[in-house]
Each structure stands twice: as structure tokens, then as C-alpha cells.
């Protein structure tokens, strides 16, 4: 019999589980707090539960924590983690220290099927979706290891969140809840490469999260060459969905734009991008491409990045250049991937 992952359950679902065991429903809230707030990784840690109940739970459930196979620390304090799932698959996650608090970047899938040509996450394709509890467990694993309070979460690791939206929405509901880590919805960011139905579905939820759209090109000709999703949902269709999202939610969208040397980083591209986004409540986040060894693309020179940003500013588009974190340990945007445990024979990557 497959064990119930307690990390996957809401308070109500945990209470229902306890009711089926002929236990008071309040025990469910106790268990939920141990798992989703205190970060218990073993039932034995739940010392306010009767021993007989813990023994019953041992036969049917697991707290749902992930195995930390390895970690690697960057010069700037960024830490990349390799977590092993119960079925032997693995995902990478990242701890990002900031002056204003600590952030984590988590994966929503083991692998990715989107095939973006500059990204490491899609190498090897998609294995499976992660459950809400497996996404949550990455946050708890990083919090437990770092000893830091987590103030924000970005769902930008491996995988396409819109390809796993039901589990992503459940994760957001649990982690923003007072029964969870109670992280404010405005401190949650969900990224997509442009899955239009997912954007529209997310809009109907009217969440106070930030939607981040990986655009990376001002037109179909360029975007088709690096992002296969664009052949299904071209730029104009994607932009219309983004306008609809803003109209329904009133929330500003962030457009991510990775600058690739000689490919999408010319002044004419910046002008075209400015025209494309004019009138949309948005912000452009420019990212000098984080290089991946298996890919041929290279990052734009710093002067080209600043020039591109200047053209956008003159077009009236709010723009920032993302501060690079974790690049020296392949923990930056586009560099996370699904690894096999054998890639990490020691606790600290070298």
C-alpha cells in the first residue's frame, strides 16, 4: 500500500484522515502543524501525539520530507540543493539570501517538456509532475538546513508550473495559509514560458501573486528559434493573454528577457519589445543569459545589456537588470536541472 504523504494534505484533509482512524479531528491540526510549520521529518518527533496514534500513522503515512542528497554554496551565499524524491527522481532547488529576507526557488516538475533551447531544465525531458507536498517539502528542507526564515518563494526551478497547475495552486494555498508558513501571496512568484491556457486559468483564481512570463524575444521569428511553445501560442496570443490577466487581477506582470549575444540583444529588438509591451501594466527583468554547457548560446556583454535597458526606459517601459546570484555553481535562472543521485557522491558538490 502506498503511504499517504502528510505534506500533500491540507488541514481539512488531515482531519479527515484522523477521523477515518477514529481519532479526534483536532489531532489532524496538530499533525499538520508539525509537518507544515515545524518541519518534522519523522513521526517520532510529534511528541504531543499518543504513541499508539504515531504507531498507526507509521503504517499508513509519511511526513513527506525529501532526502537532501547534496548542497553547493556560491561565493555570494546562494545555496543549491539536490533533493531526492521517494521514487528516486531528483530536483534542484535554491536558497537566495537578500538584504530584505531569504527567498527560495523551487521546482514544480522533475524535468521539463517545454524544450527551450537555452535552458538546462529541459535536458532529458519531463519525467513527472511534483505533488503539492513535494514542492512544499523543498521549502521546508531549505528552511531546516539554512536555519533561516523564508520570506518569499519563486516557482522558477525545473519544470513549467502551468503544466502542473493544480498541484502548484494547492502548494500556494498551503504555504500562504496561517496553518502553513503564512508567506504572503505577494511574496510568491509563478513563472511560465507562455502556456496561454494556464495563464488564463490562473487569472480566474485572482491571487495576489506575481506572474512572471519568460518572453525572451520581441517577435515570433526569434522566439520560434529558442522556445517551441511559441509555435503553439505565438507572441500576439501570449500578449493578449497577459493583457487579460492584468485586466482580471489588477496585478503587474513581470516579463523575463534573457539577453543572448547577437541574437536578441540589439537596439532594434529593444525598440520592438518596447512597442510590444506599451500600455501593459508590466515590468521587464533583463537577464544576461546564464550559460549552460550543453547549449551554444552566450550572454550579452554588460555594455549591450545597459544599452538595451536604456532603449526600453526611453520607451516608457519599467526595466531592471537582474542581480546575478549563484552563477558560479550553476544555480542561476535556466541552469537548474533534474540530476541523478550518482552526480553527487559527496554532501558538498565540487
Instruction: Give every CB contact of residue 328 below 8 A, 6+ residues apart in sequence.
Output: 74, 75
For 88, the grid coordinates are 528516486
Q: What is the CA angle 205-208-210, rounded to 5?
A: 100
Q: How far apart are CA 214 and CA 227, in angstroms?
A: 10
For 70, the grid coordinates are 547534496
Largest Cα–Cα distance in the chain?
70
Q: Under DSSP, is residue 339 helix (H, G, I), strand (E, B) or coil? A: coil
Environment class of 341 (CB within 10 Å of its CB; exposed 0-12, middle 13-18, buried 19+): middle
Nearest Cα to Cα of residue 150 among 192, 183, 198: 183
Q: How far apart are CA 177 and CA 137, in angstroms?
A: 15
Could you give the C-alpha distances from 288 to 216, 266, 285, 303, in angstroms and in order? 11, 13, 10, 11
Q: How far apart are CA 38 and CA 46, in angstroms?
A: 10
CA torsion sign for 154, 159, 162, 165 is: negative
Q: Answer for the pair 64, 6: CB distance below 8 angstroms, yes or no.
A: yes
Q: How far apart are CA 43 and CA 101, in angstroms?
A: 30
* Residues annotated catalytic, as ranges: 92, 333
Strands (E), the chain: 4-5, 61-62, 67-73, 79-84, 90-98, 101-105, 109-111, 126-129, 150-155, 188-192, 210-214, 253-259, 282-288, 319-321
Q: How far apart are CA 280 and CA 182, in angstroms?
A: 30
Amino acid at each position: 500500500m502506498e503511504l499517504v504523504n502528510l505534506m500533500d494534505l491540507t488541514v481539512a484533509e488531515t482531519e479527515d484522515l484522523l477521523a477515518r482512524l477514529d481519532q479526534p479531528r483536532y489531532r489532524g491540526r496538530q499533525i499538520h502543524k508539525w509537518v507544515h510549520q515545524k518541519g518534522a521529518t519523522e513521526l517520532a518527533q510529534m511528541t504531543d501525539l499518543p504513541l499508539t496514534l504515531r504507531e498507526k500513522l507509521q503504517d499508513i503515512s509519511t511526513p513527506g520530507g525529501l532526502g537532501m542528497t547534496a548542497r553547493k554554496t556560491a561565493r555570494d551565499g546562494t545555496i543549491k540543493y539536490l533533493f531526492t524524491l521517494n521514487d528516486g527522481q531528483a530536483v534542484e532547488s535554491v536558497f537566495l539570501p537578500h538584504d530584505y529576507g531569504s527567498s527560495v526557488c523551487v521546482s514544480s516538475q522533475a524535468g521539463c517538456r517545454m524544450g527551450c533551447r537555452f535552458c538546462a531544465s529541459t535536458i532529458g525531458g519531463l519525467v513527472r509532475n511534483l505533488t503539492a507536498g513535494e514542492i512544499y517539502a523543498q521549502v521546508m528542507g531549505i528552511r531546516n538546513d539554512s536555519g533561516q526564515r523564508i520570506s518569499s518563494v519563486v516557482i522558477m526551478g525545473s519544470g513549467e508550473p502551468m503544466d502542473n497547475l493544480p498541484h502548484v495552486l494547492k502548494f500556494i494555498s498551503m504555504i500562504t495559509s496561517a496553518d502553513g508558513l503564512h508567506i504572503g501571496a505577494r511574496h510568491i512568484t509563478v513563472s511560465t514560458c507562455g502556456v496561454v491556457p494556464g495563464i488564463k486559468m490562473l487569472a480566474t483564481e485572482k491571487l495576489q501573486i506575481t506572474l512572471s512570463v519568460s518572453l525572451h524575444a520581441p517577435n515570433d521569428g526569434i522566439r520560434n528559434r529558442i522556445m517551441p511553445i511559441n509555435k503553439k501560442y505565438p507572441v500576439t496570443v501570449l500578449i493578449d493573454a497577459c493583457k487579460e490577466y492584468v485586466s482580471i487581477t489588477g496585478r503587474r506582470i513581470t516579463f523575463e528577457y534573457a539577453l543572448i549575444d547577437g541574437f536578441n540583444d540589439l537596439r532594434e529588438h529593444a525598440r520592438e519589445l518596447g512597442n510590444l509591451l506599451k500600455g501593459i501594466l508590466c515590468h521587464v527583468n533583463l537577464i544576461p543569459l546564464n550559460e549552460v554547457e550543453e547549449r551554444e548560446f552566450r550572454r550579452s556583454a554588460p555594455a549591450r545589456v545597459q544599452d538595451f535597458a536604456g532603449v526600453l526606459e526611453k520607451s516608457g517601459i519599467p526595466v531592471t537588470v537582474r542581480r546575478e546570484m549563484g552563477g558560479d555553481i550553476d544555480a542561476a535562472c535556466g541552469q537548474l536541472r533534474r540530476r541523478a543521485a550518482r552526480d553527487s557522491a559527496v554532501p558538498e558538490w565540487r
